[in-house]
Amino acid sequence: MTWLPNRPGHDEASEKSQPKVEIYTTRHCGYCVRAKQLLQSRGVVFVEYAIDGDAEARRQMVEKAGGRRTIPQIFIDDLAIGGFMELYQLDCDGQLDILLRRALPISGTPD
């Protein structure tokens, strides 16, 4: 398993306030690319595990994912999210922000 940290503009203070996000990927996976792009567009720091040809890493992923074998597998604070389609649906439904603890605070007064 290759560990690939995603840390552009790494800021230790902001990382501590974000949940732990992990994504298991393979090299030639279009859905993996799309999932990483979605997370990056939201400013999410994540750890990528490239499991190409690593049977033990894949076994660990399947166990952690409750038996799911498809790639990518995404975890937020050890909660198994699923793959890209599940991540995308959470984003469309406004649930991804909640999972990432990034819901906008209520401020000001209504107009």
Which amino acid is located at 70 in the chain? T
pLDDT in 10s for each residue of the chain, 111 residues: 665 666 555 555 455 577 999 999 999 999 999 999 999 999 999 999 999 999 999 999 999 999 999 999 999 999 999 999 999 999 999 999 999 986 444 444 444
Q: Confirm whether pTM is higher than 0.85.
A: no
Which residues, in sequence order, are CB contacts of 27 under 8 Å at separation 6+?
Answer: 50, 52
